[in-house]
Amino acid sequence: MLTRQEKAKIIEEVMEIFRNYSTIGFVDFYGLPTREYREMKKKLQEKFSDLRIKFFKKSLVIKALERLNKTELIKYLPNQVGILYTNVNPFEVYKEVKKLVSYRFAREGDIAEDDIIIKPMVTNIPAGPSIAEFQRLKIEVGVEAGKIAIKKEKKLVSKGEKINQQVAMLLQKLGIKPIKILLKITAMYDGNIVYPREILELDEEYYTKEILKAFSHALELSKKLGIYNKYNIKEFLIKAKLHAIALGKKAQIFEEEIVKELIKDAYINAKVLKDSLNLNI
């Protein structure tokens, strides 16, 4: 049990993190194996030298956020709170976090993050009593070279469903590890904006291309409608200048820019006439 002084010290530590670092991330430590966590943390710190991750009691983090008047962040706190802090852009950090994924065998009660599907294959399981395990799960099997062979693709668990003991045991026998081990970040905060995990997951490259495409379409539309802005004004001015020169040439207005164009035209016409008459001038 922490003393009042110890709690106060931790609350102040959390507040100092928010004051001194530009990027804060909330990490869900639930179910995160220690060995894998240490490896992921090490890799992140090799990439970002100032990055740190520390575990705090949720109730103390809440008190710190209340004192900082940042109560809007409380809803992003998982039950087992880790705070990631650095001065690197949130999206840059999350991009590296996404790369740090490994897998483990399923346990009874785990929630499937995606559909768990087994495909046709010849397993390493000897034919015999184990066939009944497959049949109980309505998996179509046969025997090939003394081994159980799965004949037809089968979805064992749908996304969001709990994995029962029977499925977990069979997946382990098949050597299938469907459960992701990753640093689960619920949200990141840059001092002004909160980026929930759903936003951080967006494909940055895809959306950059889409924004550029939308900008290009908007620019073309503005030019067609004659809407002037800083992105198209140069093109409008060039066109206006060309039209003005063309009009000046027709009207024989002897202004410096137009005279240059008239001289060019005269030279070209003279050259064409000379070539057509075979004149040696």
Q: Which CATH number fits domain 116-175: 1.10.645.10, 3.40.309.10, 3.40.50.1370, 3.90.105.20?
A: 3.90.105.20
pLDDT at 273: 67
Per-residue CA distances from 47 to 51, 97, 211 (Å) = 9, 11, 29
Q: Confirm whether pTM is higher than 0.75.
A: no
H helices present in 100-232, as ranges? 131-136, 165-173, 197-200, 204-225
C-alpha distance from residue 75 to each of 26, 44, 65, 79, 93 (Å) = 11, 26, 11, 11, 21
Q: Which residues pair with 157 in a beta bridge?
A: 116
User: Which residues are within 8 A (CB) of 83 and not within 5 positions of it... i.e. 6 or more apart?
Assistant: 14, 17, 24, 25, 26, 27, 53, 54, 55, 56, 61
Domain ranges of the chain: 4-101+182-202, 116-175, 208-277
Out of 94-98, 101-105, 216-220, 241-245, least confident range: 241-245
pLDDT tens for each residue of 13-44:
999 999 999 999 999 998 888 899 999 999 99
Distance CA 137, CA 8 (A): 54
pLDDT value, residue 50: 95
pLDDT for position 233: 80
For residue 226, what pLDDT is reported?
76
CATH architecture observed for domain 4-101+182-202: 2-Layer Sandwich (3.30)
What value does the mean pLDDT take over residues 39-50? Answer: 94
Q: Which phi-psi region, left, alpha or beta, contains residue 7 (left: φ > 0; alpha: ψ -120 to 50)?
A: alpha
* Residue 218 pLDDT grade (very low, low, confident, very high; cuts 50, 70, 90): confident
* Helix and strand totals (H; E) in the chain: 10, 12
